[in-house]
């Protein structure tokens, strides 16, 4: 079982921080951090965004 929230917010450093899919900003302990989970070829993938605005732009593209 994969917990989709397990890799978020703990021990995040600049080296392993995810980048926003929309603007490529590093996301480090950001309270506006958003994650979209999608299924790609049967495998769960997580897309990280620095804010709702970036997520919305990405989803609209």
Q: How far apart are CA 28 and CA 1, in angstroms?
A: 25
Please, what is the minimum distance in Å from the beta carbon of residue 41 to Zn ion?
25
| Residue 50 sits in the site that holds Zn ion (CB under 5 A) | yes
Contacts of 50 (CB under 8 A, 6+ apart): 20, 22, 23, 25, 27, 30, 32, 33, 34
Q: Using the rule CB under 5 A, give the single segment among 1-9, 10-18, 30-38, 43-51 that binds Zn ion.
A: 43-51
- The answer to whether 36 contacts Zn ion (rule: CB under 5 A) is no
Residues written for the chain = 61
Select the residue interacting with Zn ion from 18, 22, 48, 55 (CB under 5 A): 22
Enumerate binding residues for Zn ion (CB under 5 A). Answer: 20, 22-23, 25, 50, 54
């Amino acid at each position: 079982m994969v917990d989709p929230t397990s890799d978020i917010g703990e021990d995040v450093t600049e080296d392993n921080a995810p980048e926003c899919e929309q603007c490529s900003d590093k996301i480090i302990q950001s309270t506006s951090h958003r994650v979209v989970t999608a299924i790609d070829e049967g495998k769960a993938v997580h897309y990280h965004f620095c804010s709702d605005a970036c997520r919305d732009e990405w989803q609209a593209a």
